[in-house]
A and B are shown apart, each in its own frame.
Chain A
Amino acid sequence: MAHEIQHVSTPAGGAHAAGQSHVPAHGQHHGEYHVHVVPPWLLIAVFVCLVILTGITVGVTYFDFGRTLNVWIALAVAVAKATLVALFFMHLRWDSPFNSVVLFAALFFVALFIGTVILDSKEYQINFVPPTSTSMAP
């Protein structure tokens, strides 16, 4: 895939950047500024994929694969869509990897939260039948 990479010089480039790069991790040439411009065909392609996936996820509901499988299919399609949006619309594909780490950390902790609370779900009793005052004291 060929991507347009724009090399842009900052107006007062050389003078500034010279040296004082605060970010040891970044090895770019000083005074140049890498801007990744997403080409139109890619944007359209991602959009078309998203529409198709939306169609799939709606279409799937007309078939019964069983309660569990249907949920997982729906979630898998949603994850695929979300990945497309994050990678291309949100530029993660070309971004500093640490931003992806942040996203994954957030998803990990959401999963941890939900997973652990569900672990306890056998204990939640929303069909609880409260004893009435007929039979119990105040």
Chain B
Amino acid sequence: MLKILGSIYMPPEASTVAPGVDWLFNFILGITAFFCLLIFAGMVVFCIKYRHRPGHQGGESPGHSTGLELTWTIIPLIIVLVVFFYGFRGFLDMSVVPPNSYEIIVQSKMWNWAFQYPNGTVTPELHVPKGVPIRLVLTSDDVIHSFYVPAFRTQKMSVPGRYNRAWFQATQVGEFPIYCAQYCGTSHSKMLSKVVVEEPTNFDRWLEEASNPEKQTGFTPQKAGEDIYKSRGCIQCHSIDGSHGTGPTWKDMFGSKVALSDGSTIVADENYVHDSVLYPTKQIVQGYQAVMPSYLGGLKDKQIDWVIAYMKTISEPYKKSMGSSGAVPTSAPMHKDEPARSAGSNLK
């Protein structure tokens, strides 16, 4: 009965703690309803009975009644202590992480989520196996965000400069929304993602696929390279529309001549890109700082090859040198006259 009632105002219960939270919610709702009725009924009755009207005289009543007042001091006190107890117990369930839980690192950034699985795979959506306790370690790149899954009754801020933790165990297969519940700037309301709960076997299959792009349908090295470009931090410094970032743009870079800070010139070929990814301080392009972190151990050679494949698709010099045999990919660079500003850069 309460469950049906609860579904009117509560999201689905999809985690182990959700029924407890909902029970407490309904319990407090009962208390609230009782006291509201008591107080409102008293008000209505008094308002009718003692309203000012011809012939009505206000009667004398005691100025106070210690017994009565102590009653309505002590009873609320007991009630709130009971509520505190249940709330605290539920909170312990939420904060004590079961041993051997599956750990996923949640990293937030204005305005998207990234979930890293133990094997290093990073995805923008959270996939979890059903019935396995999941331990989340949350941190943020920039400002405070809050990881909130209503269906799991789970919320934790992801704060820059520290690690917060949370855990949940999903009990229902399905997709549930993830919200950012702490205001974080322009696109706060679009900092959405979803958690996909799967049967453990399906989850294992998904993880294997996700960690190995070659097994995914529609795999091309170019597309895999583009994914890495977008998801592994290249996009933050290297534009693909020709604009200057912290690092040189990738547009038309591959196959072109690059002037280095030591005065020499080098052709941006496979070797150059490979070395720049792994040993970024070796060759600094003129006009840029040596600020790029090394991806040594972070990207495998195969992944770098995919990045190179992607860079080739956005480089006119390379295509020209190949006799423009390569088809223009869908992610073609914008037109040259386009203002040198990416969509995100005019945000405050």
Contact = CB atoms under 8 A, between A and B. Distances in A.
Interface in A47-72: none
Given A138-B233, A138-B235, A131 B162 contact: no
A130 B293 CA distance: 13
B116 A132 contact: no
A135 B119 CA distance: 11
B236 A131 contact: no
B236 A134 contact: no
A104 to B, nearest CB: 28
B163 A125 contact: yes
B161 A136 contact: no
Contacts, number: 54
Given A136-B105, A138-B112, A126 B235 contact: no
Contacts of B231: 137-138
Contacts of B235: 138
B299 to A, nearest CB: 8
A135 B233 CA distance: 9
Interface string B222-233: 000000001111
Contact of B162 (A123, A133, A137): A123
Contacts of A131: 105, 107, 139
Interface residues of A, number: 14
Interface in B18-54: none
Nearest to B164: A123
B103 interface: no
A137 B161 contact: no
A128 to B, nearest CB: 5
Given A126-B161, A137-B107, A138-B109, A132 B114 contact: no
Nearest to A133: B233
Nearest to A132: B293
Interface in B268-285: none
Contacts of B122: 136-137
Given A125-B163, A138-B235, A133 B112 contact: no
Interface string B46-69: 000000000000000000000000
Interface of B: 105, 107, 109, 112, 114, 116, 120, 122, 124, 139, 141, 160-163, 230-233, 235-236, 293-295, 297-298
